[in-house]
Structure 1
Amino acid sequence: GGSNILYIITLSDGFKLVIRLPAPGGDERWDDVAARAMASQVSTLRLIAAKTKIPVPRVYDYDTTKDNVIGAPYMCMSFIPGRVLTEVWDDPELATPLEERRRRVLEALARSLAELAQLGGFNQIGSLQQGDGGEIIEAGPFDTERSYFEYYYERSEGAGRRAKDTIIKRTVLPKFPFPGSSGGFVLSHPDLDAQNVMVEEDGNLTGIIDWDFAHTAPRCVGYCKFPLFIAYDWVPLGVDSSTRELEQYRTHYRWALGAAMGGAGDWKFTKKSHIWEAFMYAAESSFKGVWVSVCRKLI
């Protein structure tokens, strides 16, 4: 991620390791909260590696303190080969035809993320920590979808918002028909965008990276949500994208995910997950006019 410093180390036999240092790890900004976040990421990656076939970095060693030979918190992880999807998604010069490559990416990503169903449901929304006996402990603080979305709004309320945004929020949020998360909450990648997907040039998936701040979440924005890079028309990030084209990719991704899950389980949330993602983005964003933009799409 952009908040980390990465060193790639090649051993004498050609084996590669990645040493990952958090950017604030050497100064006073590194505190107990940051240390717990790193420990949570390690627990999450190890859980995924143990219970699924998702290609994530393997964590060989880590230290959340500065009391080591490096003098900084670090993670020692496996190297994920390939190129970031941002370099491959639009490149017209690669050997594999563009549309074939894109569909291959979507299908491979859907198959991998469907694996998160193996983890089952969790009782709370929050981060994961590993107990002394190696068990996974939920560090919640949310028991309902509504409290989760309300927290993100309250955290950013007043920070540059227009009065119209605040009025819409206070009118819409209490009446919003949350879909419910019977069976608990599920683990979700916090930033499932193209820069965190590693692929070969033909579109085959090699890894999903940057699980910083991964947490359990409502099922409507869980592992069955659309990747952000095919939902830019709903999340107002200033990215120029064709709605018609993105709708086609969402249809294909939903088909691939449904095939991987046998048309069952949380796949039922995928169809409208981009709307929930936009709603969540509006809830936590401090940018002016975001609520207005999202609500106009719902009308």
Structure 2
Amino acid sequence: MSRPTSLSSTASIATAESFISQLDLQAIQQLALATRKAQVEREHLSTGLTEPAPSDWACNVITPPKIGGYNVVHFLEFSDGVSWVIRMPFNQWEDVHARSMQLDILALDYIISRTSLPIPRIHGYSCDTNNSLGHPYMLMDKVHGTRLIDVWNEPSWWIGERSKQRLFDSLAAMMVELSSLEFDKIGRLVRTGPSSGGAYYVGPFPPEWDSTTQKPTEATGPFSSAHTFLSHSISSMRRQEDSRELALLQLFLGALSDPRFDSAPFTFGHPDFDSQNIFVDDTGRVVGLIDWDGVSVLPRQLGALTYPAWITVDWDPTIYDGYRELPHYDTEEDLHAYREMYTQSIRAASDGRLHEITRNSHIAANLQLAIDNAFSRVGVLFRLGEFIFCNQTGTYRALRAIERSGWFTYPSDQVAEVIILDEDEVLVPEASPYQNEDSDERFSRSDDDDASNLEMQQDVAEQTNAGERDTE
């Protein structure tokens, strides 16, 4: 289950539909045929064959296309039975997007050439608008199988030889293989010199497009430790628009970081390691991993050895509240059991070497989520607070104390001093200033009062900066 950002789904769909209405399907068809024929002829030359590609091939562009969060996808069916897809971004396209796409293709080529991961092969691409379509595009193999998101919560599908254990075993084996590609820095894979022969190394994260300022952000990194990487993210967010929630996350980062996994080696990580991007066959084994946009080199707990996102959804209450409305949803007990299963799958796939990295990777992953995703920040913050304080009241009291503290309030050009609060200033009040005006609920002083704890979380959410920058 993919986490939303502040991007409006309605606005995104409207933008995509406008983009689709302007596409030239005949140009897509001709581009796909030309790319396929050129590819076949190159393969013939490399094997000593001299005959040209068949001249009577046809290509059918399947409509309507699929609409993703950032791309429109058309399926392409060739007359000889081969299936491709063409992916085209539908949002505003800037130089920073072109650079990120170039780095994605470089990283995918690196991974595909060195592992057996079932990543769709790229047959052709353009990172700019200087092509016959007038849009950036990527031509890739079509992945066959069933999307995991469509069957995960369907008990009737998991019968016979299909099992979630088999799914976890096959996925864990792939992630262990991906983790064998090791690097000494956190950032994006780049290459020196000519693209065909230069050395690979990890460079900075390139600038992103800030849709608020309509300007690119600054490049960051590369980083030499997980703590430095996450600390930089928090500091950057706090410089943009500080909040007590980010200040508390900074404290949580110091408390929750695992020093065993702070330094190199670092690994690639799937940028959206979730069930909508995984395809399985009729036995439940993974046969496809898609949507690698933004693939980076990360700490192992955030990279190849992290948990799949859909089995940690209970640590994101904002998302999990909606998830529980689904039929056959996973309970917190179910999700904990799945994490145990996946940890054991990593253990078996790595001969007992790597499962300790995975075991508590959801802590690091949710710290990163709370830092980067304003939509989920408050809910994850309270969940991490429950882990630390055994209740939500501890988090609430910490937030109230921080907003009045010398540490948080004193300007950098003044000498800091200690501010002491009375006990009643940090207690959870029965009538809270953070309460929803339309609600009659009041916070309780009881640590185990779930209703008031939920209200507390919702009220703090209203205090969160709704207008934080949204980068594409």
User: What TM-score do you get using the length of structure 2 for normalisation?
Assistant: 0.57
Shift of 1:9: 0.8
Query: Against the structure 1 CA distance between its residues 79 and 130, is the aligned structure 2 distance closer, same or farther, given a 3 Å change threshold?
Result: farther
Letter of the 2:165 partner, please give it: R
Among 72, 85, 89, the alignment partner of 1:5 is 72
Q: In structure 2, do the counterparts of structure 1 residues 135 and 8 end up closer, same or farther at CA, with 3 Å as the change threshold?
A: farther
Match of 1:230 among 311, 319, 324: 311
- Which letter maps to 1:137? Y
Q: Deviations over 1:229-276 (max 9, x none)?
A: 111122332333412111111111111111111111x33201110111
Question: Where does residue 15 of structure 1 map in the other structure?
Answer: 82
Counterpart CA distance in 1 for 2:251 and 2:125 is 46
CA distance 1:155–1:47, change in 2 (3 Å): same
Match runs of 1:269-284 below 5 Å: 269-284=357-372
Q: Which residue of 1 aligns with 2:190?
A: 129
Amino acid at match of 1:226: Y
Change over 3 Å in CA distance of 1:208–1:126 after alignment to 2: same
Query: After alignment, is 243-252 or 129-138 more displaced?
Result: 129-138
Alignment partner of 1:288: what SS?
Answer: helix
Q: Is the 8 A contact 1:188 1:221 kept in 2?
A: yes
Residue in structure 1 matching 2:227, options 130, 146, 168: 146
Change (3 A) 1:52 1:174: same
Matches within 5 A, 1:248-263: 248-263=337-352
Paired residue for 1:50?
A: 113
Question: Deviations along 1:132-180, whole A, 9 cap, x unmatched?
Answer: 22543322212222221123324444889863x2442343334554424
Alpha-carbon contact 1:181-1:218 (below 8 Å) kept? yes
Q: 1:296 aligns with which of 386, 392, 395?
A: 386
Specify the code of the residue in structure 2 equivalent to 1:298: I
Q: TM-score, normalised by structure 1?
A: 0.88
**Mapped partners of 2:383, 2:344: distance in 1:** 28
Contact 1:168–1:292, Cα closer than 8 Å, also in 2: no
8 Å CA contact 1:162, 1:288 repeated in 2: no
Cα distance in structure 2, aligned partners of 1:52 and 1:84:
22
Flag the 1:44–1:167 CA change in 2: closer, same or farther, 3 A. closer
The 2-side partners of 1:98 and 1:276 are apart by 36
* 1:112 Cα offset (Å): 1.2
User: How far apart are the structure 2 equivalents of 1:76 and 1:198?
Assistant: 19
Query: How has the CA–CA distance of structure 1 residues 242 and 200 changed in structure 2, closer, same or farther, with 3 Å as cutoff?
Result: same
> Structure 1 residues 137, 170: CA separation in 2 closer, same or farther (over 3 Å shift)?
closer
> Distance between the aligned counterparts of 2:240 and 2:334, measured in 1?
34
- 1:65-105 CA-partner distances (Å, limit 9, x unpaired): 111111111111111111211101112333x4289532221
Residues 51-200 of structure 1: pairs in structure 2 closer than 5 A: 51-94=114-157, 96-97=158-159, 100-119=162-181, 121-131=182-192, 132=194, 133=197, 135-140=199-204, 141=221, 142-157=223-238, 163=244, 165-174=245-254, 176-179=256-259, 180-200=261-281
Q: State the distance in 2 between where 1:288 and 1:182 align.
A: 28
How many pairs does the alignment contain? 291
Equivalent position of 2:298 in the other structure: 217
Which amino acid letter does the alignment assign opposite residue 174 of structure 2? Answer: S
Shift of 1:130: 4.0
Task: Tell me, in whole angstroms, the C-alpha distance in 1 between the residues paired with 2:358 and 2:180.
Answer: 17
Larger radius of gyration: 2
Closer, same or farther: CA 171–255 of 1 in aligned 2, 3 Å: closer
Pair 158,183 (structure 1): closer, same or farther in 2 beyond 3 Å? closer
> Are the counterparts in 2 of residues 161 and 288 from structure 1 also a CA contact under 8 Å?
no
Inter-partner Cα distance in structure 2 for 1:135 and 1:57: 24
Q: Residues of 2 paired with 1:242 and 1:44: CA distance?
A: 36
- The CA distance in 2 between the partners of 1:214 and 1:14, in whole Å, is 31
Q: Which ranges of structure 2 fall in alignment gaps of 5 or more residues? A: 1-67, 205-220, 325-329, 390-472
- Contact between 1:63 and 1:75, CA under 8 Å: does it hold in 2? yes
The Cα of 1:289 is off from its aligned counterpart by 4.8
One-letter amino acid of the structure 2 residue matched with residue 5 of structure 1? V
Contact 1:124 1:216 in 2 (8 A): yes
The reply on whether 1:244 has 2:333 as its aligned counterpart is: yes
Say if 1:160 and 1:111 are closer, same or farther in 2 by CA, change over 3 A.
same
More displaced stretch, 121-130 vs 246-255: 121-130
- Structure 1, gaps ≥5 residues long: none
Contact 1:39–1:129, Cα closer than 8 Å, also in 2: no
Q: Match for 2:185: what amino acid? A: Q
Distance in 2 separating the partners of 1:110 and 1:37: 27
Q: Could you say what the CA RMSD is over the residues aligned between the two structures, in angstroms?
A: 2.3
Q: Is the 8 A contact 1:124 1:138 kept in 2?
A: yes
